[in-house]
Amino acid sequence: MSVLTAVLVALGILVVIGCAVRAAAARDDLVRLHMLAPVTALGVPLLGLGVAITASWTWTTGTVVLIVVLLAVTGPPLTGAIANMIAATEQEDR
């Protein structure tokens, strides 16, 4: 494993674990949901890039890259849409 790969994977793991700890400590649904955005936009792409650099180009590597790109592009907007739904539901309950 190269130094670059190790750094990318370590940073990705730190982002994911940090967000998981923060989400577990949060009491508000919106704060928990907010912790998904850094995971999908930063953590998973760092991990995927580290995996792609380590592995030679295969169909599996291509699949990993495709999943990472799809998650990075669609994750934050979906999180925002779910947050809007939660906020609207909480307003209706009041």
Backbone phi and psi for residue 55, each to the nearest 5 degrees, phi listed first: -80, 150
**Domain interval for residue 20:** 3-93
Question: Are residues 51 and 61 in contact, defined by beta-carbon separation less than 8 angstroms?
Answer: yes
DSSP 87: H
CA distances from 68 to 20, 25, 89 (A): 19, 27, 31
Question: Are residues 5 and 54 in contact, defined by beta-carbon separation less than 8 angstroms?
Answer: yes
Q: Which two tokens stand for residue 12?
A: 């990705």
Q: Which two tokens stand for residue 7?
A: 């750094």
What is the chain's length?
94
Predicted confidence at residue 55, as pLDDT, reads 83
Task: Read off the pLDDT of residues 28-64 as tens digits, 9 standing for 90 and up.
Answer: 888 888 888 889 989 999 999 998 988 888 898 999 9
Backbone phi and psi for residue 58, each to the nearest 5 degrees, phi listed first: -135, 175
Predicted confidence at residue 91, as pLDDT, reads 81
As for how many domains the chain has, the answer is 1
